[in-house]
Chains A and B, each alone.
Chain A
């Protein structure tokens, strides 16, 4: 092996990578926010007693979860203009991420809602708790506690998925990496460093989520 590594050319582009990292965060947070909205609205439909309301939600969840994100983002990228909606690639990517994450969020939130048994709520009333207290202490907090681990790991997964948004040239880390690669021809060095950046991002996110979980969801409750 007589290849000379040159990481210097990549470090020269550090400001660009830093901005692109913010772009990745932007995509991830906006995508997750949209996913949560879709998740909450979707779970109302998913748990509806009316089959006509339930069926489209189930179909949506199954289709999104059983097709690759790459195909979804291409489909949305080409479908939106045909519907008369012209958006830049980054906004399109957020919509695609939101739709993808939303399908997973529906199933996760549904699990949380169903984990609260009716007897708990009734017991709350029997103890003379107010309606608001029953909702806050018996429904909301345990449900949040139940879905928190899956929801946060889904968030991290979504953050890693943002790298696929390079395929429609959204503004994020992987597209910046591809730009630097085509300028410098240092493919391995660029991707090696960018992979490291992603690892830092996901590790930091995991740490923050664990901290929040310990602060708010640990037993005994205060």
Chain B
């Protein structure tokens, strides 16, 4: 058994940096595309709605690990020479866009219909109606679920380890193999994930409770 020294710990923290980066890129990228998915999902055209629903269903009905594999090898087949890092980031962006799209679809539909009617009565066009009236209210409604998904996404980035990408979980695996102290190493790695995810979960639940109380 080897000791867990400063070097090992630094290596794990280096992995943490990539975990954070993957989660942030996935969340921001997924957020941008997620809004488009949500808007398509509630659009007037049945064909557009069905396409968005199929996209969401595809990502919610398959394992994240498979999505990573397919995008990872699929991007390579396109002939563009992209780094593993970019391929994984694309996969998480697509994954997040489907889940956030579905969450925000629900929130948009949860905004009372009278708001849309009032916006129409005021003569607001589509962009203004969405941007100024519906989406700000929908965003507020969606907050607990959105934060809940962010936690899912952070935990999900660990699967990039199976594709070979060195983030927090993979860094832990490497150190564990070097030092033969799996319980200590995975304990530390688990604790790091917990320190990041638990406050977020807590915040999300508190927000949900406060909103439930306000609605009563």
Interface residues of A, Cβ cutoff 8 Å to B: 1-3, 62-63, 65-72, 74-75, 78-79, 82, 156, 160-164, 166-167, 174, 177, 187-188, 191-192, 194-195, 198-199, 202-203, 206
By Cβ-Cβ distance, the 7 closest A-B pairs, closest first, are A78-B182, A68-B158, A163-B63, A66-B197, A191-B69, A68-B155, A202-B61
CA distance A202 to B57 in the complex (A): 10
Chain B residues 44-66 with CB under 8 Å of chain A are 57-58, 60-66
Closest to A206 in B: B61
Chain B residue contacts of A192, Cβ below 8 A: 70, 74
Contact yes or no, B190 A67, CB < 8 A: yes
Can you list 20 residue pairs at the A/B interface with Cβ under 8 Å? A1-B78, A63-B190, A65-B201, A66-B197, A70-B161, A70-B162, A71-B172, A74-B176, A78-B186, A160-B62, A160-B63, A162-B63, A174-B63, A174-B66, A188-B73, A188-B74, A192-B74, A195-B62, A195-B67, A199-B58
Which residues of chain A are within 8 angstroms of B65 by Cβ–Cβ distance? 163-164, 166, 174
Using a CB–CB cutoff of 8 Å, the interface residues on chain B facing chain A are 57-58, 60-67, 69-70, 73-74, 76-79, 151, 155-156, 158-159, 161-162, 169, 172-173, 176, 182-183, 186-187, 189-190, 193-194, 197-198, 201
Give A83 to B58 CA distance when docked, in angstroms: 41
Which B residues lie within 8 Å of A1 (CB)?
77-79
Partner of B155, one of A67, A162, A187, A203: A67
Closest residue of chain B to A78 (Cβ to Cβ) is B182
A68 to chain B, nearest CB (A): 4
* Contact residues of A: prevailing secondary structure: helix
Q: Which of B187, B194, B197 contacts A75 (CB 8 A)?
A: B187
Whether A198 contacts B77 by the Cβ 8 Å rule is: no
Q: Nearest chain A CB to B74's CB is how many angstroms away?
A: 6
Chain A residues with CB under 8 Å of B57's CB are: 203
Contact of A187 among B69, B79, B189 (CB under 8 A): B69
Closest CB in chain A relative to B12 CB, distance in Å: 12
Given A78-B186, A163-B65, A192-B70, decide whether A68 and B151 contact each other with a Cβ distance below 8 A: no
* Contact partners of A70 in chain B: CB under 8 A: 158-159, 161-162, 169
Closest to A70 in B: B158
**Quick check: A71 and B186 within 8 Å, CB to CB?**
yes
Contact B66 A198 (CB under 8 A): yes
For B187, list chain A residues within 8 Å (CB). Answer: 75
Contact between B155 and A188, CB atoms less than 8 A apart: no
In the complex, what residue of chain A is closest to B158 when comparing beta carbons? A68
CB distance from B200 to the nearest CB of A (A): 8
Q: How far in angstroms is the closest Cβ of chain B from A181?
A: 9
Task: Given A68-B158, A164-B159, A198-B61, answer yes or no on A74-B73 (Cβ-Cβ < 8 Å).
Answer: no
How far in angstroms is the closest Cβ of chain B from A16?
Answer: 17
**In the complex the two chains form, is A74's CB within 8 Å of B173's CB?**
yes
A82 and B66 contact, Cβ closer than 8 Å, known pairs A66-B201, A70-B158, A70-B161: no
In the complex, residue of chain B having the shortest beta-carbon distance to the beta carbon of A191: B69
> How many Å lie between the Cα of A96 and that of B187 in the bound state?
15
Interface centre among A63, A66, A162, A163 (most CB of B within 10 A): A66
Q: In the complex the two chains form, what is the Cα distance from A63 to B195 in whole Å?
A: 10
| A66 with B151, Cβ < 8 A, contacts A174-B65, A195-B62 known | yes
